[in-house]
Structure formats: structure tokens, C-alpha cells
Amino acid sequence: MPDILTSLHGKELGLDKDRDLVLPSPAAFKDNVTAATSASTGTDIPRAGATTLSSAAAVWRLAAPTAGVKKTLHSISTSTANRAVALAAGNFISTAGSSFTTMVLQGLAYGADLLGLSTALYLVQQSRSAIFSTSTST
């Protein structure tokens, strides 16, 4: 284990000489998981952690990205109705282009792993059948 120079929690968690976070081995990270339903369409989906979408057709807003922060979206509904996630600000960058503002998830286990590149760009690291669009309609 690397030497901890700045301890955050005893000798178990801290920063090394390169200011990298040092964790006990093995270490696990717990993701914050939120649920988005038709009742929460007026509230932005958080920019970090995992969010499950479980309603029929609806449009949610995803909070603007933060550079280096990961976001995962999952559809957990068996309905084939469109569940759209529109960005509060910015664009999605995918292998299909970089001007997309909306992601549509149409079935069970559809989703995407995103990485904030800046306050205006989410990189689509992996897509599970998500459809990207410039329209917010479902």
C-alpha cells in the first residue's frame, strides 16, 4: 500500500505524494441510486450515481454534467413506451455525433453510462440500446 501523507480517516483513507486517493485493499465504492418515476419529472435527475427510470412514457431532465463525474441511467420498465432524458444544459457525445440533447430508452435494461467532460458535455461511454435525438418529444 502506498504511503499516506495526508490522512482522512486514520491509516485507512488518505492522499499520497501525488495527491491520489489511497484506499484500503480491497475497497468498494457505493453508488448513489435514485429512482425516477412519472411523479418526479419536474425534478432534475442528479448528475452523479445511478438512476432507474420506471414509468411509462415520460420526459425527465438530467442535471448539467460536471467534468470527471460518472452517471448511469437504466430503464427498469418492461413497457416499450419512450422514456426520454433531456439535458438541462449541454449535449451528449456519442459515436453517432455530438449535437444530441435527448436520450430515449424504450425497454427493459436499456440505458447508458455517461461521463461528464465539462459543464456542457456528457460522453456516452456505453449505450445499451439508447436512442439519441435533438428533440425532447416522446
| pLDDT tens digits for range 118-128 | 999 999 999 99
pTM of structure: 0.79
Q: Looking at the predicted structure, is the pLDDT value of residue 1 above 60?
A: no
CA distance 112 to 114: 6
- Say which CATH number the domain at 87 has: 2.60.120.640
| 115 inside domain | yes
- Cis omega (within 30 of 0) for bond into 46: no
Domain span holding position 114? 31-133
Mean pLDDT of 131-136: 83
Neighbours of 52 (CB within 10 A): 16
* Per-residue pLDDT reduced to its tens digit, 66-81: 999 999 999 998 888 8
CA distance 97 to 39: 31
Cell 440533447 maps to which residue? 101
Number of independent structural domains in the chain? 2
